[in-house]
Structure 1
Amino acid sequence: MSVVIAGAGMHPWGKWGRNFTEYGVRAAREALQDSGIAWADVDLVVGGETVRNGYAGYVAGSTFAQALGWNGARIATSYAACATGAQAIDTARARILAGMSEVALVVGADTTPKGFLAPNAGERWNDPDWLRFRLLGMTNPAYFALYARRRMDLYGATAEDFAQVKVKNAKHGLTNPNARFRKESSVEEVLASPMVSDPLHLLDICATSDGAAAVVLTSADYARKHGIASPVTVAAVSTVTPTFPNTVIDMPLLATDSSALTGVPERTFKESIGQAAYEEAGIDPSDVDVAEVYDLSTALELDWIEDLQLCKRGEAEALLRAGDTTLGGRIPVNPSGGLACFGEAVPAQAIAQVCELTWQLQGRAEGRQVEGARVGITANQGLFGHGSSVILSV
């Protein structure tokens, strides 16, 4: 048995200041309309949790099911920080593969505050976010900058390379109706924007946004029997953790991909995520036609290109400079415009990537279409061992 994406929908991303449920309901209805499946036929709703939106956000599956109108569907809620949406998709897919569901609706939506995401208020000594923010001053842009410095030291990356990632993604997002920022940028504009955490400027770092995305999943058999047009196969969902030879269980975790572990890992965390996805899908990185990756900062996109084995270590800058990662290039990366154009709506962004790849593989990504795309991969990095990669194929 295989599981397919029968429909995809989004609420445009921006800074709307309304309840996250409103965004999620719109995305859900668009996904249902796209699939041709009635809400009454949905038997599972999986919501992506949003911790900033009160109790309704913590029980997002129930919140969306109620808002759409109680129909007797089972509900589930997933949280994995930026990998939340992929984990929600994995939950829905598992139930379909187990024969416990026929039609699943997966929804992620968020309303975010202005500025960089902050930790929970008060003294929270068991909260790793609070510890790294309050004790170390390690806000997200600070460790994005550490990644960037690492690339500069190891591979000779430059601030101009990072800026060029923004330029590329901004151009990709120009015609995307769901993108928040639809304006071209130049390298000079990026470098002239305020320095946030050296070497990253303001335009190197994604904003926080309101937004939503949703997909409808069914078995391939269900899609055939009900005449669903052009379904896209979910070939793999990877949410693996890294493997280390030794562990230390009494150390605090203070960064999003650090571990209380010693020794050299078999693969880096992000390499493990991509490799597990390839193995499950039974494909090779050379089979990938298009990628949607986690570009909270411009430098992170370059890392992900290598983590997903789309090129060798240290070669991402060369691909970028040659135009290979832009539309029309060998392996277009973030044709949607990425988070550079959308901003960060945490429980929605991994689902939004799947929406984009669905439209790409169906040939419906008007104005940003990757010609002949048949296999696409996503990548997200969540908090403290959470991460995800999804492979779709036709």
Structure 2
Amino acid sequence: MSDDVAVLGVGMHPWGKWGRRFTEYGVVAARAALADAGIDWRAVQSVVGAETVRGGYPGYVAGASIAQALGWQGARVTSVYAACASGAQAIGTARAQILAGLADVVLVVGADAAPKGFFAPAGGDRPDDPDWLRFRVLGATNPAYFGLYARRRIAVHGDTPEDFAQVKVKNAAAGSLNPNARYRARVSAEDVARSPVVADPLRLLDICATSDGAAALVLSGLDFAHSHGVSEPVRIRAVSTVTPRYPRTELDLPDIATDSAAAAAPPGLGLRPSIAAAAYEEAGTGPEDLDVAEVYDLSTALELQWYEDLGLCPAGDGAKLLREGATSLGGRIPVNPSGGLASFGEAVPAQAIAQVCELTWQLRGRAGDRQVAGASCGISVNQGLFGHGSAVIAVR
């Protein structure tokens, strides 16, 4: 398709807590991606940096900060901020530049040096931001929000804490096979059950950590890829960057409507289902075409919700799909073969790029012991504060 762009190279800095500046991680990932692509840094015509607001001024101008750290050579620079969706929107920006003919080769980088503990709201008071209102008016930090979400799944769909624990067990097993993951130990359901309660019913091992890390991609037009000797590159076929649609302006919750005759469900899709739907429409594909998925598992219960929002199963059947083994390595549609945020933790501007790195390795058939056999189509999805929703569909 004419709107495809090629993934020439991918690279990562392993996730962890290293105590260094985000640019150091970004340079490691960028150089790895350039080496993978066989591209000299001086041939890169544009750098798109996913921002990290916790990095101070260098983080706000992440594109230029990474370009400076690599050695200024005149490349166009762009910096993109969309909270947890920053990396996917950086990919969308790079893709647009390539398709517009503004650059043949674009380097996309996201890197973060995350603090320990909860992320503090940044940018001052934001009374028009539903997420800020949740933090400050309701006092619902992310773990409390995840706990409420899990409670809703228990009440509406009959999920159990044991189901949530199995998501962690699955992702930890995959992460144990990933050299870039921060947590590489397998865990059991008993390990999850013994971990401290954070926001009932979720325990410590149900919720992802905060991490340092970086990921990078080298993207190009297909003509450039072919001239560079890559005859069948992994291609990005769709990038969805959506916001909620009025009147469905809640950012994350499914319909709360009951069976009461007085309850009327608003029209249209909620935000989370619309993220994947927009990508499917652009790519001319659907959930039945997927071989692998990388989803934004801030908590174990949220991963189950993604199964449904991606159309992998009917609403309410996420836990059933998990129990059947369909989303495990070797299953019908493996989800988070990288190990997900359960194994990596959050390095906010890097994680959506890292998802596409994993899709690329899977579609190339180079994912090692976590390889999904015969993978030819994959999706990554995530969402960020203030209504940012993003998805990427990659094909081979």
If the TM-score is normalised by the length of the shorter chain, which range does it land in? over 0.9
Is 1:208 the counterpart of 2:207? The answer is no
Q: What is the Cα deviation at residue 242 of structure 1?
A: 2.9
Q: Is the 8 A contact 2:244 2:251 kept in 1?
A: no
- Which residue of structure 2 aligns with residue 232 of structure 1? 234
Q: What is the Cα deviation at residue 38 of structure 1?
A: 0.8
2-structure distance, mates of 1:178, 1:16: 13
Partner SS for 2:386: coil
Partner SS for 1:234: strand
Is 1:52 the counterpart of 2:50? The answer is no
Q: Is the 8 A contact 2:248 2:271 kept in 1?
A: no
Amino acid at match of 1:56: P
Q: What is the Cα deviation at residue 72 of structure 1?
A: 0.9
Amino acid at match of 1:153: A
Q: Is the 8 A contact 1:381 1:387 kept in 2?
A: yes
- Which residue of structure 2 aligns with residue 137 of structure 1? 139
Q: Is the 8 A contact 1:244 1:263 kept in 2?
A: no
- Which residue of structure 2 aligns with residue 251 of structure 1? none
- Which residue of structure 2 aligns with residue 285 of structure 1? 287
Q: Is the 8 A contact 1:209 1:344 kept in 2?
A: yes
- Which residue of structure 2 aligns with residue 23 of structure 1? 25
Partner SS for 1:175: coil
Q: What is the Cα deviation at residue 103 of structure 1?
A: 0.2
Q: Is the 8 A contact 1:244 1:266 kept in 2?
A: no
2-structure distance, mates of 1:137, 1:100: 45
- Which residue of structure 2 aligns with residue 75 of structure 1? 77
Superposed CA deviations along residues 28-59 of structure 1, whole A, max 9, x for unmatched, are 00000000011111000000000111000000
Q: What is the Cα deviation at residue 230 of structure 1?
A: 4.6
Amino acid at match of 2:30: A
Change (3 A) 1:53 1:332: same
TM-score by length of 1: 0.94
Unaligned runs of 5+ in 1: 248-254
2-structure distance, mates of 1:246, 1:295: 23
Q: Is the 8 A contact 1:35 1:228 kept in 2?
A: no
Q: Is the 8 A contact 1:243 1:265 kept in 2?
A: no
Q: How does 1:1-394 map to 2 (within 5 A)?
A: 1=2, 2-120=4-122, 130-228=132-230, 230-245=232-247, 257=252, 264-394=266-396
1-structure distance, mates of 2:330, 2:382: 24
Q: Is the 8 A contact 2:165 2:206 kept in 1?
A: yes
Change (3 A) 1:155 1:123: closer
Q: What is the Cα deviation at residue 300 of structure 1?
A: 0.5
1-structure distance, mates of 2:248, 2:187: 46
Partner SS for 1:190: helix
2-structure distance, mates of 1:331, 1:122: 42
Superposed CA deviations along residues 124-173 of structure 1, whole A, max 9, x for unmatched, are 66666554323321100111112111111111000000000000000011
Q: Is the 8 A contact 2:9 2:34 kept in 1?
A: yes
2-structure distance, mates of 1:246, 1:37: 45
Change (3 A) 1:312 1:60: same
Partner SS for 1:37: coil
Q: What is the Cα deviation at residue 244 of structure 1?
A: 2.5
Amino acid at match of 2:162: E
Superposed CA deviations along residues 165-217 of structure 1, whole A, max 9, x for unmatched, are 00000001111010000001111110111111111100000000000000000
Q: What is the Cα deviation at residue 373 of structure 1?
A: 0.3
Amino acid at match of 2:391: S
RMSD across aligned positions (CA): 1.8
Superposed CA deviations along residues 207-259 of structure 1, whole A, max 9, x for unmatched, are 00000000000001100011136521101000122322488xxxxxxx8547x
Q: Is the 8 A contact 1:242 1:265 kept in 2?
A: no
Unaligned runs of 5+ in 2: 254-263
State which drifts further: 300-309 or 143-152: 143-152
1-structure distance, mates of 2:198, 2:366: 37
Change (3 A) 1:125 1:288: closer
Q: Is the 8 A contact 2:248 2:269 kept in 1?
A: no
2-structure distance, mates of 1:223, 1:162: 42
2-structure distance, mates of 1:94, 1:121: 28
Change (3 A) 1:123 1:328: closer
1-structure distance, mates of 2:157, 2:120: 32
Change (3 A) 1:173 1:229: farther
Amino acid at match of 2:23: T
Partner SS for 1:113: coil
1-structure distance, mates of 2:106, 2:330: 35
Q: Is the 8 A contact 2:211 2:347 kept in 1?
A: yes
Q: Is the 8 A contact 1:257 1:384 kept in 2?
A: no
Partner SS for 1:56: helix
1-structure distance, mates of 2:106, 2:51: 17
Q: Is the 8 A contact 2:129 2:386 kept in 1?
A: no
Amino acid at match of 2:395: S
Q: Is the 8 A contact 2:9 2:37 kept in 1?
A: yes
TM-score by length of 2: 0.94
